[in-house]
Homo-oligomer: A and B are copies of this chain.
Amino acid sequence: MFERGYRGAGVRDIVSEAGAPQGSFTNHFRSKEAFAGEVLDQYFDYLREIVQATLGDRSLSPRGRIRRYFDVITGKLKAEKWALGCLIGNLSLEVSTESKPLRTHLSNIFAEWREPFAACIAEAQAAGEIADNFPARDLADFLLAGWHGAMLRMKVDRSSKPLEQFKAIAFATVLARRPR
């Protein structure tokens, strides 16, 4: 599903990749839509671990933790040669017009994803590390959306440049270190 998209990954391909008997799919999943929901949950579990290991790393300043998150994700994307991007972003554009259950699922994931970022940004604001002229949640949404846009361009250009550009500009402007 990551490589071929929601529609490109047929049930037959999925079953065959899994080495499962043909016809077993419907014993485990109501539909391909339900299967994609489980795929999203597993993928997001993996992201939660990265969030925990970076935004939860108390050895860094709050602003430093956010930078660490984007740098760790950049390393993961590099390992895939900038070709795959983020499954959540990919499915967001592919399926949200047509599948209401998957769209709602994705919307819930984004809402949960925002929270640890918002907490980290609020901490950076409270410590005077960055400006507090916008609510932390709005900044978290802005950053995550911008990062998804950067990954979109990365996929099209097969290049890390959009990611590095995003980090350089975001950390010098939206997340600028406040003068003491």
Contacts and interface: CB of A to CB of B under 8 A. Distances in A.
Contacts of A150: 145-146, 149
Interface string A93-128: 110111000010011001000000000000000000
30 contacts: A3-B97, A3-B98, A4-B97, A4-B98, A8-B98, A84-B97, A92-B152, A93-B93, A93-B94, A93-B155, A96-B155, A96-B156, A97-B155, A103-B155, A110-B156, A133-B172, A134-B172, A138-B168, A141-B165, A142-B165, A144-B153, A145-B146, A145-B162, A145-B166, A146-B146, A146-B149, A147-B149, A148-B153, A149-B149, A149-B150
Across chains A and B, which 7 residue pairs bring their CB atoms closest together, nearest first? Answer: A149-B149, A145-B149, A7-B7, A146-B146, A148-B149, A93-B93, A173-B173
A166 to B, nearest CB: 6
Contacts of A85: 93, 97
Interface residues of A, number: 49
A92 to B, nearest CB: 5
